[in-house]
Amino acid sequence: MEIRKKVIESTATLSQVMMPHHASHYGNVHGGIIMKLVDEVAYVAASRHARRNVVTASIDSLNFENPVRIGDVISLRAELTFVGKTSMEIEVHVDTEKVKTGQVLPVATAFLTMVALDEKGRPTPVPQLILQTQEERKKYEEAKARREQRLKRLKEEEEKRGHKIDNQSNLS
């Protein structure tokens, strides 16, 4: 019997106040700090879905729309949008809240591909998604298109380098 899970079963959220050690001397939070949090919340969602260890195989572009400053509360929400055989695409939305005013601004959206690993560190099958809403079905179709683009880019990169890229098998 094939195991299937609803999107909501693995959705993850993370909120954190940004402190001086997260920022430059101008008070802006370093992009790398935000990227780390994006990876962490995606890991939680993928791990919940697979109930296995997972690793990041790729991250699509991450464009920052608004700055995050010291004292802001950054909130991240991760949910699965697509599942292959061993890989999962996770969409992460990042917002920043200006605590003193309550203003919430979008910071970034990222799409990560995570791969489930067995006890020997090899890619292992993951449960398929149960798509319950029209929005989930739309996101799934969009994710399929992104996956095809990722695989195409990997193939082109391999041809340029003249050898296989190890993580291509992880994107199944």
What is the domain range of residue 120? 4-164
Instruction: Assign 172 a pLDDT band (cuts: 50, 70, 90).
Output: low
Q: Is residue 171 part of a domain?
A: no
**According to the 3-state scheme, what is the secondary structure of 55-84?**
EEEEECCCCCCCCCECCCEEEEEEEEEEEC
CATH number for the domain spanning 78: value is 3.10.129.10
Q: What is the pLDDT of residues 40-92, one digit of tens each?
A: 999 999 999 999 999 999 998 889 999 999 999 999 999 999 999 999 999 99
Q: Give the model's pLDDT for residue 121.
A: 94
Collapse the DSSP code of 54 into the 3-class scheme (helix H, G, I; strand E, B; otherwise coil) and give the result. strand
Composition of the chain by helix, strand, coil, percent to 5: 35, 35, 30
Q: What is the pLDDT of residues 14-42, one digit of tens each?
A: 999 999 999 999 999 999 999 999 999 99
Query: Exposed, middle or buried: residue 142 (CB in 10 Å: 0-12, 13-18, 19+)?
Result: middle
Q: For residues 75 and 165, what is the distance between their CA atoms, to the nearest angstrom? A: 34
Q: Is residue 137 part of a domain?
A: yes
Instruction: Assign 171 a pLDDT band (cuts: 50, 70, 90).
Output: low
Q: For residues 12 and 1, what is the distance between their CA atoms, to the nearest angstrom? A: 27
How many structural domains comprise the chain? Answer: 1
Q: How does the average pLDDT of the chain come out, rounded?
A: 93
